[in-house]
Amino acid sequence: MADETNAGSPAGTQAGAAQNQPEMVLQNIYVKDASFEAPQGPNIPVEQWNPQFGLNMNTAGTTVAQDMHEVVLTITLEAKIGDKVAYLVEVKQAGLFLIRGYGLDQTRQIIGTYCPNVLFPYARQSVSDLILRGGFPPFLLPPVNFDALFQQSMAQQAAQQQQAAVN
C-alpha cells in the first residue's frame, strides 16, 4: 500500500530532484607513493632510543574529471637521535572523491577538511607499518584536527593577500 501514495509523482521528477542534491562520495583510497629510509638501520641501541620527531603534513587536491577530485595527504616523519637520522618515512595517501552540487568555497573546504579526515587513518596505518617493518619500535601519529589546520591556512592566505595589496 505504501507504493500507492507515490503513484501520483512522476519518477523523472524524483530522479531530477535527487540529481540536484549536493553529494560527496568516496570512490577509491590508495597509496600513491611510500618510502622508508633508515641510514643507520635498526642498529641503534635500545637504551639510546629517545628520538626527536619531525612531522610534516600537506594536502593537495586536483580535479581529474568533472566533479571528481583526487586528494593526496602527504605525511613525512623523521626520527633523529642527536644529529643522526634514525629513519625517514613519507607516505602519500590518496583518495578519489565525487564532490557535486557544492559551491567553490564549500568544495575547497571539503577537500581541505573532510577528505584528509577520511584519508588520515589509512596514512597513519601505512606510516606505522613501514616503521615496524624497518625494525623500529612502534609509532602512531597523533590525532589531527584538519578543520583547525584548514582555518589556519585560510587565515594565512588572507593575511598574505592583504600584505600583497598593501605593497
Domain-by-domain residue ranges, the chain?
22-41+51-141
Other beta carbons less than 10 A from residue 130's beta carbon: 20
pLDDT > 90? residue 153: no
Whole-angstrom distance, CA of residue 46 vs CA of residue 127? 21
The string of pLDDT tens digits covering residues 63-91 is: 999 999 999 999 999 999 888 899 999 99
Architecture of domain 22-41+51-141: Roll (3.10)
Cβ atoms of 96 and 64 within 8 Å: the answer is yes
Alpha-carbon dihedral sign for residues 108, 113, 118, 123 = positive
- The residues pairing with 90 across neighbouring beta strands, listed in sequence order, are 35, 76
Residues 30-68 pLDDT 10s: 999 999 999 987 677 666 778 999 999 999 999 999 999
State the pLDDT at residue 5.
Answer: 45
The residue type of 48 is Q
**What's the residue count for the chain?**
167
Cell of 165: 595589496
pTM of structure: 0.81
Task: Check whether 145 has a pLDDT greater than 70.
Answer: yes
Q: Which amino acid is at 93?
A: Q
For residue 52, list its beta bridge partners: 80
- What confidence score (pLDDT) does residue 129 get? 97
Which residues are CB-contacts of 9 (< 8 A; sequence separation ≥ 6)? none
What is the arithmetic mean of pLDDT over 125-154?
A: 92
